[in-house]
Amino acid sequence: MIPRPIVQIEGLHKSFSRGSEKIDVLIDLTLDVPEGEFLALMGPSGSGKTTLLNLIAGLDSPTSGTLIVGDQEISRMSETQLARWRTRHVGFVFQFYHLLPVLTAYENVELPLLLLPLSAAERKRQVLTALDLVGLSNRLSHRPGQLSGGQQQRVGIARAIVTDPTLIVADEPTGDLDSKSAEEILDLLVELKKGLNKTILMVTHDPRAAARAERVLHLEKGRLVRETSLYDLHPGGLNGDAVTSSPRRMEDVVREQP
Amino acid sequence: MEFITLAFRFATYSLALLFAALLLILGLQMVGVLKKVPFSYNIRNLFVRWRITLMTALAFTLVVALMTVMLAFVNGMYKLTASSGVPGNVIVLADGATDELFSNLGFGDIKQLEFHPEIVKQDGKPLISWELYVVVNQPILVRKCPKCGELVRVNRFGEKLLEHGEPSCPGSDLPITGTRGRRFIQVRGLEDPVISAAVHNLDLYEGGEWFSPACVAPLPGGRSGQFAVQAVIGEGLARELGPDQGKKSLEVGDVFDLGPNRWIVTGILRSAGSTFDSEVWTKFQMAGELFGKNTYTTCVMRTEGPEQAAALAKDLKENFKSPAVNATPEPEYYASLNSTNEQFLGAILIVVAIMAIGGVFGIMNTMFAAIAQRTKDIGVLRILGFAPWQILVSFFLEAVLLAFLGGLLGCALGLLANGWTASSIIASGPGGGKSVVLKLVVDGPILLSGMVFSLVMGCLGGLLPALSAMRLKPLDAVR
Amino acid sequence: MSNLDAWILWYLDSPWRVIGAAVALLVFLLLVVYRDDWFFYARLMLKSLRRNLVRTALTSIATFVLVLVVTMVWTVLYVLDRVTAEKSQDLKAIVTERWQIPSQMPFSYAQPLSEGAAKETNDVRPSDSMTWTFVGGTLDPAKRTRENIVFFFAMDPAKLMRAERDERGNLIRTKTGKIVFNTMMDDLDQLSDSEIDLLDQACREMEKDRRKVVIGKERLAQMNKKVGERFTLHCINYPFIELEMEIIGEFPDGRYNQSALMHRDYILDAMDAWKRKNGRPHPMAEKCLNLVWLRVPDREAFRRVAEQIEESPDFKSPAVKCETASSGIAAFLDAYRDLLWGMRYLLVPAILVTMSLVIANAISISVRERRTEMAVLKVLGYRPGQVLILVLGEALLLGVAAGLASAAASILFINTYLGGIKFPIAFFPAFFIPLDALWWGPALGALTAFVGSILPAWSARQVKVAEVFSKIS
């Protein structure tokens, strides 16, 4: 079964101008990401991987080319439309977690839900589910300052999945963590992928992190130079079933757990 | 007055002390005895955060400019009363009266005063001025122009549409429809204007002359048999009445309304800077008859000098009994009119003090933010070997510099108010008083107090943040 | 019930009140409908404010004190505006000497003026009237001080306060329990029942014994006298006259704190006695009527009465004028016009700008510190407008709270503790902060917070997510 692509990129071009100088960050990039894939983007600094991620997440708009996520052409949306779209379709995980220091873990996760037409009870259920999934049910009322780096990143992931987005985008999610916490976070991402069948895009330059993905794209100077698939990395199929069925709702998965 | 000089002196001394300390530190730093955080570090930082620097400085500017203008107003009042009295003069009012308005010297034997030996003589005549002071409540009449609907000032005889720009608007046959405010015009009736002018050290501008003994003249442009009352007016009043006649200022030969009559100007008093500036001077008998008050209210006597004046005042108070009088050396009398000034000054000081709190908190905010942004810098400086107090001086100086800039701008802005004229009332207590036109005076002491004030605000606002910067632990700061 | 009707009618009288109520209702409804969102926003704003307590405190205190100054200045202007505003119903007319200040008329004018100089049957008569004679004196002629000089208003006590009483002396009340009384004075109709009772009794006492006087509470304290004590007043503006007086009551706190009141016949009789003794009239005999107040129902009646008085041949020497109380006071205040102009158009705007600057300062610092947070919110899907509202709301919350606190504190502190603002203008002893200040404060706070935070909020709205994160990583 060939899953339909959730991200379709064609002839994508992005350039910045610094003074009179024009810098091409992404050049004529074409890429499909099938639904339910765990994809890693690798490359040296300045290769354009973060820019690509930002474009897919709708945080920036391309200079030219088409960019379709789900069934929407996001390269032509206004900032406000993009904001609405992001709430429903993209969950973002940052390298430095970026939790609001004044809010508790619970409130941080609740933030994106407030933009959706949900009742307070529904919101509460979803927040608790998300925090349960990342294993932080016992840290609800802690402030970010009272949590370890790994725990903060778990809150960040819970915040990313709480709206049940189609796409989870992670920019160096392990970049600021020690190796043990990093492993835990990667385990969590793989688990989410397996359990919920979410599409995950991760930028990293840690080969160990990339090794957990199903497919790794290498960028250099704004072009795709190489692609490694899961079967090249793990001929034995370490992660088990790579591609299963359509994405599942977060709550259903939780309900199945014993 | 004592209070303000005391407060001022205190502020100046404390500031001088503070400055001496700062200069000492800076001097020692320059000689190289003390290491210092380079001052350019602070100045660059102010420039880097130029928007916040500007906002903070502007808040200071406004507060200081306001204070300057308000103090200039009171200063103008003090200057006015101080320049109104002649040191050798004694002013005599009825016993119990502290204000000319409520004084009534009666007839009795009051004329005996003329023979007092202390009075200086000029051409064989004693320099003693017999005066009747009344305040006339003069409505400013208006009517509605049927063409443009504007309320227009008119004279009582409806002769002109005054201060009205539309030449096509019809003129004289409109009914007077009402009044727009009033003027309180002070009229002084004099027995002998030449003597009185000599007593008050006043004279007329070129081309003017004193009113005649009969004090009437034919009304210019009137029918035969129509007369106008002759008067000499202060230059301030001439300027105020001028616009009624479509002029900048009244001149000799111009006619104006006062009470039930028409008056003609025979001369303009060189009276700027004194309370006589807003007065109409005319013949005593004329004023008495027109305003129904036919006794003297005031008598002013000229002596050799301040000491003789004090002696004469004391003598009259104790020994003159027909009737009993209240005699005061003139400067002292005018100083007693400062009671309103003192109350205004009190109110201004309260307002300024409260505004200062706002300014201080504004600068504290800015400095706390500056320190929060530069925590790492502070850590690095400390690790490089700067002592806590050097950090303190550095940030403190930055706050003071900010205040200094704001204060300087504020003083410059306040300076613009110098020379503005404003009307007010000076009085020795409730009820009485003279309407005066005064000039706002922004002078050295006022600018100095503006600077002192802003620097004090800067010091108060800068101290706390600088202390907190000093107490940062170097290793915590760089982390 | 009728009370409610009247209140509703009064309320609907002004379009501003209606619009205000509609806006308040709308805001309330929005708050209810979107309560979850607002709660959340409010919580986030409060938490942001709580994060930097020092900054929040400094900004609030600055706003607090600046609102305090504006409230004080506006109080003075408000009171002056209110007394000089022309009424169309139930006007008070003031008759004074036409040309001179101070106004001094012969007492023979009192009777015809009180009737509005009405002669013909179809002439308009005022519905009520009151005469004023000012008597200034000192308790110690040898050493006059501010404390021992008292100015008395000599008048007919029945015009000051007259409550209806039955034969047994009990107050007569209407069906709704209100005391039936009549007064010519302003602000006395706001007295409590017991104060009306006391004042009425005092006025009746004064009618029986003319030596009795009522003095304002504060004035009494300055004179160092108590109710029940006696003293001799050595008149200043009525030479040779000494009056024995007994204090039988005090004015309640408020506008009449500095006032003193005596029976007008007492001073008239004293001058008659002087004439009998000296064989000639007292020097002030023809000058002892300072003003006459007339009450007229409407502007037309006022116009007629003024015409009757000013055209009557009976009042020619000295001539008199008749004007509405508000225009009389306005004319008097004209001497202070530059001062009031400065307060209104220099002082207040400058303070408001200063306030805006202080708030702008604080909010831009906080926005600058939180650029990353704003970007995170945007990544999570917050729209630019919502980010703007968050920043703006934070400032507004602070401004409104500080403004309200300032207004409430100034009313409590200045009105009750300081006894009003003692600003030496005209004849007003003190200015009391009106309850309206309770909305001035928050409105001023909101206005300056809005002006001060709109630019920083806009810059927060414009935060470019990609730029913020590219700087960090």
pLDDT tens, position by position, C203-217: 898 989 999 999 988
If you average pLDDT over residues C317-332, what whole number do you get? Answer: 82
Shortest alpha-carbon distance between residue C462 and chain A (Å): 10
User: Which 46-75 residues of chain C touch chain B by CB within 8 A?
Assistant: 54-55, 58-59, 61-62, 65-66, 68-69, 72-73
% helix, strand, coil for chain A, step of 5: 40, 25, 35
Contact C305, C93 (CB under 8 A): yes
In eight-state DSSP terms, residue B151 is E
Length of chain B: 479
Q: Find all residues with CB under 8 Å of C66, minimum gap 6, and list them.
A: B354, B355, B358, C351, C352, C354, C355, C358, C448
Lowest pLDDT segment from B318-322, C259-263, C394-398: B318-322
Q: How many domains does chain C have?
A: 2
Q: List B2's β-bridge partners, or say none.
A: none
Lowest pLDDT segment from A88-97, A229-238, C397-406: A229-238
Coil, strand, or helix at residue B135? strand
Distance CA B170, CA B160 (A): 9
Shortest alpha-carbon distance between residue B429 and chain C (Å): 9
Distance of CA C112 to the CA centre of its chain: 33
Shortest alpha-carbon distance between residue C198 and chain B (Å): 29
Of C55, C101, C327, the CB nearest to B368: C55
**Residue that wins the pLDDT comparison between B413 and A241:** B413
Coil, strand, or helix at residue B262? strand
User: Which 439-468 residues of chain C touch chain A by CB within 8 A?
Assistant: 465-466
Q: Does the structure show a pLDDT above 50 at C1? A: no
Lowest pLDDT segment from B229-233, B404-408, C246-250, C380-384: C380-384
Distance CA A65, CA A55 (A): 11
If you average pLDDT over residues C376-401, what whole number do you get? Answer: 87
Please provide the average confidence, as pLDDT, over all residues in chain C. Answer: 84
Q: Are residues C310 and C164 in the same domain?
A: yes
If you average pLDDT over residues A143-158, what whole number do you get? Answer: 89
Single out the residue in C318, C346, C362 at which a domain terminates: C318
Q: Whose CA is closest to A125, among A106, A102, A105? A: A106
Q: Whose CA is closest to B258, among B196, B186, B175? A: B186
Q: Are residues C62 and C169 in the same domain?
A: no
pLDDT classification of B411: cutoffs 50, 70, 90? very high
CB contact under 8 A, C382 and A115: yes
Coil, strand, or helix at residue B472? coil
CATH code for the structural domain at A5-256: 3.40.50.300
Q: Are residues C258 and C391 in the same domain?
A: no
Token pair listed for A229: 């698939």
Widest Cα–Cα separation across chain B:
101
Q: Strand C242-251 and strand B421-426: pairing?
A: unpaired
What are phi and psi for residue A64, nearest 5 degrees?
A: -155, 170
* Chains with ≥3 CB–CB distances under 8 Å to B: C
What's the pLDDT at A249?
65
If you average pLDDT over residues C424-443, what whole number do you get? Answer: 81
A238 in C contact zone (CB under 8 Å): no
CB contact under 8 A, C47 and A102: yes
Q: Are residues C291 and C414 in the same domain?
A: no
Distance CA A10, CA C29 (A): 49
Contact A56, A69 (CB under 8 A): yes
Token pair listed for A248: 């599942």
Distance CA C211, CA C223 (A): 18
CB contact under 8 A, C381 and A102: no
Residue C438 lies in a domain: yes
CB contact under 8 A, B181 and C330: yes
Please provide the average confidence, as pLDDT, over all residues in chain A. Answer: 81
Neighbours of B28 (CB within 10 A): 13
If you average pLDDT over residues C307-322, what whole number do you get? Answer: 86
| Residue numbers in B near C339 (CB within 8 A) | 73, 422, 424
Please provide the average confidence, as pLDDT, over all residues in chain B. Answer: 80
What are phi and psi for residue C471, nearest 5 degrees?
A: -70, -35
Contact C62, C417 (CB under 8 A): no
Distance CA B392, CA B395 (A): 5
If you average pLDDT over residues C440-463, what whole number do you get? Answer: 89
What's the pLDDT at A243?
43
Contact C184, C160 (CB under 8 A): yes
pLDDT classification of A233: cutoffs 50, 70, 90? low
CB contact under 8 A, C101 and B183: no
What's the pLDDT at C12?
72
C122 in A contact zone (CB under 8 Å): no
pLDDT classification of B260: cutoffs 50, 70, 90? confident
Residue C417 lies in a domain: yes
User: Which 74-103 residues of chain C touch chain B by CB within 8 A?
Assistant: 98-102
- What is the per-residue DSSP string for C88-142? SEEEEEEEEESSEES--B-GGGHHHHHTTT--STTS---SEEEEEEEEEEES-TT
Shortest alpha-carbon distance between residue B471 and chain C (Å): 16
What's the pLDDT at B452?
85
Of B96, B136, B344, the CB nearest to C239: B96
**Residue that wins the pLDDT comparison between B140 and B297:** B297
- Measured N-to-C along each axis, helices B388-415 and B2-31 cross at an angle, to the nearest 10 degrees, of 130
Q: Are residues C79 and C131 in the same domain?
A: no
Could you tell me which chain A residue has the CA closest to the CA of C46?
A102
Task: Please count the CA atoms within 13 angstroms of the CA of C72 that sit on its side-chain side.
Answer: 28
Q: Which of A52, A56, A59 to mutate to test the interface with C (most CBs of C within 10 A)?
A: A59
CB contact under 8 A, C384 and A88: no
Distance CA C162, CA C171 (A): 11
% helix, strand, coil for chain C, step of 5: 55, 15, 25
Q: Are residues C171 and C299 in the same domain?
A: yes
Q: Does the structure show a pLDDT above 90 at A181? A: no
In eight-state DSSP terms, residue A196 is H
If you average pLDDT over residues C447-471, what whole number do you get? Answer: 83
Do B and A touch, 3+ Cβ pairs within 8 Å? The answer is no
CB contact under 8 A, B355 and C319: no
If you average pLDDT over residues B384-406, what whole number do you get? Answer: 83
Contact C376, C387 (CB under 8 A): no
A164 in C contact zone (CB under 8 Å): no
pLDDT classification of B103: cutoffs 50, 70, 90? confident
What's the pLDDT at A242?
42
- List the domain range (segments joined by +) for residue C123: 100-318
Q: Which of C380, C382, C467, C469 to mutate to test the interface with A (most CBs of A within 10 A)?
A: C380
Complex-level ipTM: 0.77
Contact B295, B106 (CB under 8 A): yes
Residue C135 lies in a domain: yes
Token pair listed for B466: 């600088």
Single out the residue in C268, C285, C318 at which a domain terminates: C318
Q: Are residues C286 and C204 in the same domain?
A: yes
pLDDT digit string, tens, across residues A21-32? 888 888 888 888
Q: Looking at B186-324, list the stretches that DSSP marks H as alpha helix, in order from N- to C-terminal side.
A: 193-199, 235-241, 284-291, 306-319
| Residue numbers in C near B289 (CB within 8 A) | none
**Residue that wins the pLDDT comparison between B289 and B23:** B289
Q: Are residues C261 and C217 in the same domain?
A: yes
Give the helix/strand (H/E) hosting A40: strand A38-42
Q: Does the structure show a pLDDT above 60 at A240? A: no
Could you tell me which chain C residue has the CA closest to the CA of B371?
C365
CB contact under 8 A, C469 and A100: no
Contacts from B348-351 at CB under 8 Å and sequence distance 24+? B348/B67, B348/B70, B348/B71, B348/B74, B349/B4, B349/B7, B351/B70, B351/C69, B351/C72, B351/C73, B351/C347
Cis ω before B331 (30° cut-off from 0):
no
Q: Are residues C283 and C385 in the same domain?
A: no
Token pair listed for C289: 């009527």
CB contact under 8 A, C382 and A84: no
CB contact under 8 A, C379 and A80: no
Shortest alpha-carbon distance between residue C16 and chain B (Å): 28
| Residue numbers in C near A111 (CB within 8 A) | 377, 380
Q: Are residues C252 and C299 in the same domain?
A: yes
CB contact under 8 A, B361 and C347: no
Q: Whose CA is closest to B356, among B287, B310, B410? A: B410
* Chains with ≥3 CB–CB distances under 8 Å to C: A, B
Q: Which residue is listed with tokens 């002396």?
A: C169
Contact A204, A216 (CB under 8 A): no
A171 in C contact zone (CB under 8 Å): yes
Q: Which of C47, C376, C377, C388 to mutate to test the interface with A (most CBs of A within 10 A)?
A: C376
CB contact under 8 A, A112 and C383: no
Do B and C touch, 3+ Cβ pairs within 8 Å? The answer is yes
CA distances from A174 to A57, A189, C248 (A): 19, 11, 88
CB contact under 8 A, C354 and B364: no
R_g over Cα of chain C: 30
Coil, strand, or helix at residue C147? coil
What's the pLDDT at C133?
92
Distance CA A121, CA C321 (A): 76
pLDDT classification of B139: cutoffs 50, 70, 90? confident
Q: Are residues C402 and C456 in the same domain?
A: yes
If you average pLDDT over residues C70-99, what whole number do you get? Answer: 84
Distance CA B415, CA B69 (A): 8
Q: List B258's β-bridge partners, or say none.
A: B261
Of A83, A101, A119, the CB nearest to C381: A83
Neighbours of C253 (CB within 10 A): 16
Q: Are residues C450 and C382 in the same domain?
A: yes
For chain B, what percent of residues have pLDDT higher than 70?
82
Give the helix/strand (H/E) hosting C24: helix C15-33
Map A116-145 to HEC letters.
CCCCHHHHHHHHHHHHHHCCCHHHCCCCHH
pLDDT classification of B320: cutoffs 50, 70, 90? confident
**Residue that wins the pLDDT comparison between C128 and B139:** C128
Q: Looking at chain A, list the stretches that DSSP marks H as alpha helix, in order from N- to C-terminal side.
A: 49-56, 79-89, 105-110, 120-133, 149-161, 179-196, 207-210, 230-233, 250-256
| Residue numbers in C near A96 (CB within 8 A) | 472-473
What's the pLDDT at B145?
61
| Residue numbers in C near B372 (CB within 8 A) | 369
Please give the single-letter amino acid code of residue C423: F
Q: Strand A64-69 and strand A5-18: pairing?
A: antiparallel
Token pair listed for A202: 């991760």
Please give the single-letter amino acid code of residue A52: L
